Structure 1
Amino acid sequence: EGHYFLVIVDSYSKWPEIFKTPTITARTTIDLLFETFARYGLPETIVSDNGTQFTSSLFKEFCESLGIIHIRTAPYHPQSNGQAERFVDTLKRSLRKIMPGAGHDIGRSLQIFLSAYRATPNKSAPDGLSPAEVLMGRKHRTTLDLLKPPSEHRAALQRNQRQEEQFNKRHGARKREFGKGDSVHASTFVHGKLVWQTGTVIERVGNVMYNVWLEDKKRLIRSHTNQLRARGAQKSRPIRKKLSRRSSYLYTSCSRTCRSSR
């Protein structure tokens, strides 16, 4: 229908918000985030993809004015924003099942999905509770409560775990860690082609992101763990390149995850 969707997921409670919008300009995105912040308060950190609305100077000023740290994912690697990507994957699969019964009304279908998702136990949430329980301290009553006995809670957690494992397998998720000073090969795109370049890990940013100094290009890049390969057991000499003050902020745990989708 020519609409875009701004997807926001709280990284702690897993509470989602979805906004349908005809445009995804920086101004529109900022207005929708303001609406969200008015309900739940300001986040400490926003993790987003590299859409133009998020890379604009206007969005940068918006985050700085509210004291929000903005982290963008590694280019050409949407899995870096895994939380939002998993949610979008679940959303698409669910809408295909919901829309026929909702008269193909996208607005109504979204609300049906959100109601169910917020009330469903989430393995990644604290104590495996539902987003509603974590955020509001109580369960949301839904029509499923008339059909599903309490004993189904554990079964729901197990289903969620299987779904997460299947998603990680399909999307190439791997457990791989690097330390400061490790020599690596980093995949980068040059003129639209994938190229492996030698580099050195400068620092770890969050759970799966690293700042890497490319030795040939003499520049710093950010890479997802899946974009890195160990080059050898030897560690390179320390790089004495001075990083910007903003780099130190990237260790702060995120509290909002944003993604735009069409």
Structure 2
Amino acid sequence: QQNWQRIHIDYAGPFQGHQFLIVVDSKSKWVEVGICSNAPSSSSTINMLSNIFARNGFPDVIVSDNATIFKSEEFTSFCHNCGIFQKFIAPGHPATNGLAERNVQTLKKRLSAMADDSSSISTKVQEILFRYRATPLNNGKSPAEQYLGRQIKIKLDVLKPSKITASSNPELPVRQLRVGDRIQARYYMANKPSWKLGTVVKKLGRLHYLVRLDNGFIFKRHINQLNFTMAKNQLDVQESQEAEPATNDNQHSDNQLLYHPHLLTNIPGSISTSHSNEPETPSTPLQQQPSTSTGNSEVDTTPSRRTSSRLRKPPSYYSDYVRH
């Protein structure tokens, strides 16, 4: 016999204004309970059983008493369509369905003990089921161990927490960032993702980081949403340029500000590059470089215009015409 192959069902109530459908697995003693506030019917019983079967599957056999609800044409048709065989106990011999009867009495006893509890009836039933499923039976195993194949975690386990062991599967290497690294972080606003400059504030784990944008926003990002960059903010760029000689301005810009221009779109104060389609107008006149010769003559830095040296002549078909 397998788990949930043979189940016993019975009703408990009316008790505290409710009816309780008790469903017990014959092998593992796993219990399910359905609650209804009105008088039970074949339709309500089918609805509660359908909810239970959605979690556990259809059994092969249902054992019940000879109540009209279980022997109605509607319930019989439901069992037939689900491939479930109905087995009824002998009239006047409830011991055949004793497994369900005992759980009916247990449920009533536990609910009576919780009469002073202000919780809802469904919350009380959930608490009773949770404790019952985790309690060892006569064979030393709980219904959860017999039905689920494992012991469920309860509040007592918090007093002695288990050590989390590392996974035996080797982890693939991933990029690593350090606190203080300059990064380009994926930024989402109005369903338009973009990249914005920021700094790594804290490493939250193997793959996640806490970053702060240059505009002050702080949020969590995955490593796949971050790119390392050497780009500085506008203030740092101006200070670094003032510290270098004027002759090294171009070299400083090329060597120090390494970044991807296509990733810096929509960034306030971003650094413009030579890839822009609009020509830049210098704010100050170009300074002429000093001559390397000892004389006082200055070298003309204006580049000469290059012209083609190809010999030009009219096409041959113009020879038929007289040119003036």
Q: TM-score, normalised by structure 1?
A: 0.51
8 Å contact kept, 1:13–1:135:
yes
The verdict on how the C-alpha distance between 1:83 and 1:141 changes in structure 2, with shifts beyond 3 A counting, is same
Structure 1 ranges of 4+ moved more than 6 A: none
Matched with 2:27 is: 12
How far apart, CA to CA, are the structure 1 residues paired with 2:32 and 2:130?
Answer: 11
Listed one character per residue, the Cα deviations across residues 9-32 of structure 1 (whole Å, up to 9, x for unaligned) are: 111111111111123111111111
> Larger % of helix: which?
1
2:152 to 137, 140, 144: 140
Matched with 1:109 is: 124
1:39 corresponds to which letter in structure 2?
Answer: R
Matched with 2:143 is: 131
Aligned length: 144
- How far residue 80 of structure 1 moved from its aligned partner, in angstroms, is 2.2
Matched with 2:102 is: 86
- Secondary structure class of the residue paired with 1:46: strand
Pairing 1:60–2:76 present: yes
Q: CA RMSD in A?
A: 1.9
Listed one character per residue, the Cα deviations across residues 109-137 of structure 1 (whole Å, up to 9, x for unaligned) are: 111100000111122xxx54111111212
Matched with 1:27 is: 43
- How far residue 72 of structure 1 moved from its aligned partner, in angstroms, is 1.2
- How far residue 77 of structure 1 moved from its aligned partner, in angstroms, is 2.8
1:129 corresponds to which letter in structure 2?
Answer: K
How far apart, CA to CA, are the structure 2 residues paired with 1:93 and 1:8?
Answer: 17
How far apart, CA to CA, are the structure 2 residues paired with 1:18 and 1:73?
Answer: 21
Gaps of 5+ in 1: 149-262
The verdict on how the C-alpha distance between 1:147 and 1:11 changes in structure 2, with shifts beyond 3 A counting, is farther
The verdict on how the C-alpha distance between 1:79 and 1:144 changes in structure 2, with shifts beyond 3 A counting, is farther
How far apart, CA to CA, are the structure 1 residues paired with 2:156 and 2:86?
Answer: 38
8 Å contact kept, 1:7–1:18:
yes
2:111 to 95, 107, 111: 95
- Secondary structure class of the residue paired with 2:115: helix
How far apart, CA to CA, are the structure 1 residues paired with 2:123 and 2:115?
Answer: 8
Matched with 2:269 is: none
1:72 to 74, 88, 95: 88
> Larger % of strand: which?
1
Alignment of 1:1-262 (within 5 A): 1-21=16-36, 22-100=38-116, 102-103=117-118, 105-123=120-138, 127-145=139-157
How many percent of aligned residue pairs carry the same amino acid?
Answer: 45
- Greater relative contact order (CA < 8 Å, ≥ 6 in sequence): 1
How far apart, CA to CA, are the structure 1 residues paired with 2:122 and 2:156?
Answer: 21
- Secondary structure class of the residue paired with 1:99: coil
8 Å contact kept, 1:99–1:106:
no
How far apart, CA to CA, are the structure 1 residues paired with 2:158 and 2:50?
Answer: 36
